[in-house]
Copies of this chain bind each other. A is one copy, B any other.
Amino acid sequence: MNSFTEENYIKAIYKLIESEGDTISTNAIAEKMNTKAASVTDMLKKLFAKKLINYQKYQGVTLTAKGEKVALNIIRKHRLWEMFLVEKLDFKWDEVHDVAEQLEHINSDKLIEQIDKFLNFPKVDPHGDPIPDAKGKLNIPKSQLLSKFNKSDVCIMTGVVDHSAAFLQYLDKSGIALGNEIKIKDVVVFDRSLQITINKRNTLFISNDVAKNILVILKPQP
């Protein structure tokens, strides 16, 4: 169907649209794919010919409905495999991404449906990212950045922005994990660093840089 490489381009375009908005430049894709603009242009022609993207010379790129469906299917596989690795094979959340990058290209509908079932149809992956369903429907959760909240707000951690191993390991070491209650004890006005209490137990300081990479929802009042 689509080659390994085509799939990676489609996924990169999807992710760029998700974070940067509407139309995506050749250079942005080149940077994300660690390749050169000339290579991207070649691939854009091919993806356009396959009706996976909307593309006109010099005008940037969007995904067609068909392209978006392909992207969501790859993301579905990626996130289900990450969940499988963490839940069943004792991988840590900072170890799964590179293996999932390979596994997401395995082509077998039965395999991915059985993995989904085996995991009991999870809604989010180990980083709190939502898993598209088999039809490509994605439930976007309405989390916000922890850095947006104020003194004495109480939140529940739902996800991360930065997925790097370094950041995830920092959270582990600090005892900050998905589902934890995060209470803001204090906000330093100067640099917007935070003093927070995790699960009413340990209190620590985190920088604004860190707070901008933690996704939370306000704790629902019982």
Contacts and interface: CB of A to CB of B under 8 A. Distances in A.
A89 B106 contact: no
Contact of A114 (B90, B98, B107): B90
A111 interface: yes
Interface of A: 85, 88-91, 95, 98-99, 102-103, 106-108, 110-111, 114-115, 118
A124 B106 CA distance: 24
Contact of A107 (B85, B89, B102, B108): B102
A89 B111 CA distance: 8
A99 B114 CA distance: 13
A85 B108 CA distance: 12
A91 B110 contact: yes
A92 B111 CA distance: 12
Contacts of A106: 99, 102-103, 106
20 contacts: A85-B111, A88-B118, A89-B111, A89-B114, A89-B115, A89-B118, A90-B114, A91-B110, A91-B114, A95-B110, A98-B108, A99-B106, A99-B108, A99-B110, A99-B111, A102-B106, A102-B107, A102-B108, A103-B106, A106-B106
A106 B111 CA distance: 15
Contacts of A99: 106, 108, 110-111
Contacts of A110: 91, 95, 99
Given A99-B108, A103-B106, 18 more contacts: A85-B111, A88-B118, A89-B111, A89-B114, A89-B115, A89-B118, A90-B114, A91-B110, A91-B114, A95-B110, A98-B108, A99-B106, A99-B110, A99-B111, A102-B106, A102-B107, A102-B108, A106-B106
Nearest to A90: B114
Nearest to A103: B106
Nearest to A115: B89
Nearest to A107: B102
Contacts of A103: 106
Contacts of A98: 108
Nearest to A88: B118
Contacts of A107: 102
